[in-house]
Structure 1
Amino acid sequence: MQENSAEAPEKSNFPIIATIIVIAAVMTMIGMGIWQLQRLDEKKALIALYDANAQKSAIAYPPLGPVQNENMFRRSSANCLSVIGWQTGSGKDAGGKAGVRHIAECSTGAEGPGVIILLGIDERPRDNPNWKGGVVSGFITTEPDKSNILQKAFGGKKILRPMLVSDSPQAGLRAPARPQSGDVPNDHLLYAIQWFFFAFAASVIYILALRKKLKG
C-alpha cells in the first residue's frame, strides 16, 4: 500500500475576523468624522441666520418651545402679569461683567403657557428683585439647559422653552448681555479631528499588533 506523502496545508495565522471588525470600526470612525464636518457647514449657516435675525424687526413672542431657528435672537416683547417663580445662576451683563442672573417665571393668563424673562444681572447673590411684572422688550433665546452630561447623552433631546432677554435694566439690576451667535457651541471641527485621530490610532495599533502576531 502506497503511503500518502502529501502534507496537510499549513493553517493560516492571519486573523480574518478580527481584521474585518477593526476595518469596520475604523470606517465607522471615519464616517463620524465626515458627518461632523457636514454638521460644521450646517452650524455655520445657522449662525449666519442668527446674526441676520438680530437685525430684523420685532415679532410676537413664541408661546412654546422649541424655538424655531428663524425666531432665535429676534426682537420681541412680553407682558408678565405676575411673577410665579425665580431662577438664578451665573451670567454676564451688557458690559461683559460676570454676576448673578435673575430669571423671572411669569404668568401671562389663566391658562397661558407663561413666559420666562431674564431681567438682569446682580453683583452678588441676594434676595430676588422686588419686581411684580409688566411689559418687557428684548431678544428671544432659549431657557438655560440644566441637564447634566448623562442626561444630555442618554436622556434624549430636551425641549427648551423660549426665554426673553431684556434689552434694558429692570428692577434695579444691570442689563443682561444680549444673546449672540458666538454663544452657540460650534465644536464640530474639533469632534471631526478627534474621530479621524481615533481612526488613525486604531489602525496603527492594529497593524503593529498584526505584524507582531504574524512574525511570532
Structure 2
Amino acid sequence: MKRVPMVPTLIVLVAVAYMIHLGFWQLERLGEKEAMLARYEAAQASGDEVRWPEEPSAMQRALYHRSQLDCRSALASTTLSGRNAKGQAGLAHVVTCIDAEGAKRQLVLGWSTDPAAPVWTGGVVTGWIAPGPRLVADPPQAGLEANAKPDPKDIPNNHLAYAVQWFLFAGVALVIYVLALRKRLHERAPRQDGLQ
C-alpha cells in the first residue's frame, strides 16, 4: 500500500499556508500604503501649514505639509544628491539646526552644483516636511536654488509584487512537493510488488 509520509507533508502544508498568509498580509499592506500615499498627496495639495511635530509619533501625519522652523543656529553641514525644481541633478545642502526649543532639526537649505557649504547662520525657515524627517526650505536659503518639492510618489509601493511573489512561492512549493511525492511513491511501488 502506498503511504503518504505524514511529517514531511505536514511541514510542506504548514509552509505553504504561511506563504499564502504572507501574500494576503502584503495585500493588506498594499491597501494601507495606498491610503497613506493618498493622505500625503492630499496634504501636499492643500498647502496647509502645520506646526513642526514635537513627538515622533505625530511626524507621520505631518509629512508633506508645509511647516516652519525657527533655527537659532546651524551646526553640521552636508550634501546629498538631489534635484532642483527643474529636475536637474545636483546637490541638496543640508544643515543641522538648533530650533527655539533647543532640539536638533534637519533642514535642506537648497540646491546647487557646488559642493562648497553655503554660509548660513540661521533664521525662520518655511518649507515642506519630508521623510527623514527634514524641512525642505521653500523659498530656499543662503542664495541657493530651490530643491525639488518632496513627492509622495517617490515612496515605493511594492506590496502587490510581494504578494504575487508569496503566492507563487506557495504554488511552486506545492507543485515541487507533489511531483517529488509522486516520484517517491512510483519508485517504491515496483519494490513492494516484487516482494509479494
Q: TM-score, normalised by structure 1?
A: 0.80
Q: In the TM superposition, what is the alpha-carbon distance from 1:67 to its structure 2 partner?
A: 4.6
| Equivalent position SS for 1:86 | strand
In the alignment, structure 1 residue 129 sits paired with structure 2 residue 118: yes
C-alpha contact (below 8 Å) 1:43/1:186 kept by paired residues: yes
Aligned to 2:107: 117
Q: In the TM superposition, what is the alpha-carbon distance from 1:69 to its structure 2 partner?
A: 3.2
Give, as a single letter, the amino acid of the residue that structure 2 aligns with 1:30: I
In the alignment, structure 1 residue 28 sits paired with structure 2 residue 22: no
Q: How high is the sequence identity, in percent, across the aligned residues? A: 43
Q: In the TM superposition, what is the alpha-carbon distance from 1:112 to its structure 2 partner?
A: 2.0
- 1:38-49 equivalence runs, <5 A: 38-49=28-39
| Equivalent position SS for 1:81 | strand
Of 18, 24, 33, the residue aligned with 2:8 is: 18
Give, as a single letter, the amino acid of the residue that structure 2 aligns with 1:196: F
Aligned to 1:155: none
- How far apart are the structure 2 equivalents of 1:75 and 1:169? 14
Aligned to 1:177: 148
Greater shift after overlay, 72-81 or 12-21? 12-21
- How far apart are the structure 1 equivalents of 2:53 and 2:61? 11
Aligned to 1:207: 178
- How far apart are the structure 2 equivalents of 1:63 and 1:118? 19
Give, as a single letter, the amino acid of the residue that structure 1 aligns with 2:38: A
- 1:90-101 equivalence runs, <5 A: 90-101=81-92
C-alpha contact (below 8 Å) 1:46/1:69 kept by paired residues: no
Q: In the TM superposition, what is the alpha-carbon distance from 1:65 to its structure 2 partner?
A: 2.4
Deviations 1:6-47 (A, max 9, x none): xxxx6x542110000001000100110001001111111111
Aligned length: 186
In the alignment, structure 1 residue 141 sits paired with structure 2 residue 112: no
- How far apart are the structure 2 equivalents of 1:121 and 1:112? 26
RMSD (Å), alpha carbons? 1.7
- Unmatched tracts of structure 1, length 5 or more: 1-9, 144-161
- How far apart are the structure 2 equivalents of 1:209 and 1:141? 52
| Equivalent position SS for 1:131 | coil
Q: In the TM superposition, what is the alpha-carbon distance from 1:103 to its structure 2 partner?
A: 0.9
Q: In the TM superposition, what is the alpha-carbon distance from 1:197 to its structure 2 partner?
A: 1.0
- How far apart are the structure 1 equivalents of 2:167 and 2:113? 44
- Judging by fraction of residues, say which structure has more helix: 2
Of 66, 69, 79, the residue aligned with 1:78 is: 69
- How far apart are the structure 2 equivalents of 1:88 and 1:13? 66
